[in-house]
Amino acid sequence: MEIININSARWHTQLKNSVTNFSDFVQYFENSSKNRTIYDDTARYDHIEGSSNLLDSIKLYLQNKAMEKVIVENRKIEKVFVKNREMERVIERYPMRITPYYLSLIKSVGDPIWKQAVPDIAELYESKDESVQPVIVADPLHEERQSPVPSIIHRYPDRVIFLVSNQCAMYCRHCMRKRKVGLQIQQKLSSKFCRFKLCSNEEYKKEESENIEDYGKSDLIDLGLEYIRKTKEIRDVILSGGDPLLLNTEKIDRILFALRKIDHVETIRIHTRVVCTLPFRITDNLVSVLEKYHPLYINIHFNHPSEITDESASACDLLSSAGVPLGCQTVLLEGVNDNPETMITLMRKLIKIRVKPYYLHHPDMVEGTAHFRPSLDTGLDIMRSMRGSLTGIAIPQYMVDLPGGYGKVPVLLNYIKQRDSEKAVVENYQGKICEYRF
């Protein structure tokens, strides 16, 4: 608990020191590898009594050893990025931001944490074969077409997604909104219409005459609130982005206060990943604001057991203890969690920290994410392995979001093999066939 509440400025420091380019990335691993090795190895000699010369000699030896480790680690990193400017090419199109906290969870080059955070040249191609041409399917779910104002996505009659930020603590490489998260948003506003488009950093520099804003700016927030007020069918509002909890606490308070003043809004949900990527953001001050606006639900995003640390567990505890129900939306990702052992371990860890597994998302067909997409059979095999291995409260729904904006549908295992008016032939979790009479 103390690690979260030492100083509310800690999360700002983490963001300020986030890694956003290749040179910072290499420098981080140089420093952390050296410091980790020295710290871990010198701890063994803390109990030694004797001359300071002996301890100094040990430390000098360990420093040299640490530098050898740094060189090895850097060679591994360079081997991954063998092509000229490979990482920079990806960052030019899809920004990179990784907090020092999340970087510290990486154990080796190419591990499941690395894959979620570090740019990959595969993001620029349509399939796992790098020789094919880049894909142009930025918005397969037609969110822009279902956006009556820039900050609102209105797909289902009684609920809306309210985009209040386009910034995240970390830009996940599998993000389903890669087309806009972390990028400048270029917009034109008038009393009669609002239209907007995305632009790269270079385009932004060339078109300085345009009004450049992001979703956290008050005019876009006000447009969203006005739409929600006028649309009486809306009962459920989901704050998303980007990450809503990257806004300052006062702005979050104002948005929640405004929503609670709208009579037909019954529930508010927040979708965030800071609990996983920047747990220090969950401060006493933030929690004291959130607990004023119940019923309020938070869906968080863990994809791998290694992401559940003492820090993230403490953040979850702060939220749960304030009466905020927590759900987890996990994304099935090839090379990250696409096997039963990893997924079962993750679900068990989630319920231990009072987080209900909510959805297991099959990754959307979004530009720049093809290398993460497993087959549906992989997902169904994982769901089959969970049944009987996990308590029911630890089993999420396996979901596909249909291209074209047609909404989410559950992907279900077929346990009923035959059925007539009198009985059903059913397969149990062990594969045994049973007869069930009505």
Q: Which residue has the tokens 């400025």?
A: 9
pLDDT level of residue 55 (50, 70, 90 thresholds): low
pLDDT level of residue 196 (50, 70, 90 thresholds): very low
HSE-up (13 A, CA, CB side) for residue 297: 14
Q: What is the distance between the alpha carbons of residues 298 and 269, in angstroms, rounded to a whole number? A: 6
pLDDT value of position 53: 57
Contacts of 166 (CB under 8 A, 6+ apart): 180, 181, 182, 183, 185, 214, 215, 216, 241, 242
pLDDT level of residue 171 (50, 70, 90 thresholds): very high
pLDDT value of position 7: 42
Q: What is the distance between the alpha carbons of residues 175 and 50, in angstroms, rounded to a whole number? A: 55
Domain residue ranges in the chain:
2-124, 152-411
Contacts of 432 (CB under 8 A, 6+ apart): none
Q: Which residue has the tokens 């030694």?
A: 48
Class of domain 152-411: alpha beta
pLDDT value of position 68: 52
Q: Give the N- to C-terminal CA distance of the chain in Å, as an integer.
A: 53
Coil, strand or helix at 62: helix
Amino acid at 319: L
* The pLDDT of residue 184 is above 80: no
Query: Active-site residue numbers?
Result: 155-156, 159, 168, 172, 175, 177, 364, 401, 408
Supply the pTM of this predicted model: 0.81
**3-state percent breakdown (helix, strand, coil) of the chain, nearest 5:** 40, 20, 40
436: which 2 tokens?
């069930």
pLDDT, mean of residues 69-92: 63
pLDDT, mean of residues 81-102: 81
pLDDT value of position 313: 97
The answer to whether 196 and 183 are in contact (CB under 8 A) is: no
Rounded CA Rg of the chain: 24
52-88 b/e with 16+ CB inside 10 Å = b? eeeeeeeeeebeeebeeebeebeeebeeebeeeebbe
Amino acid at 421: S
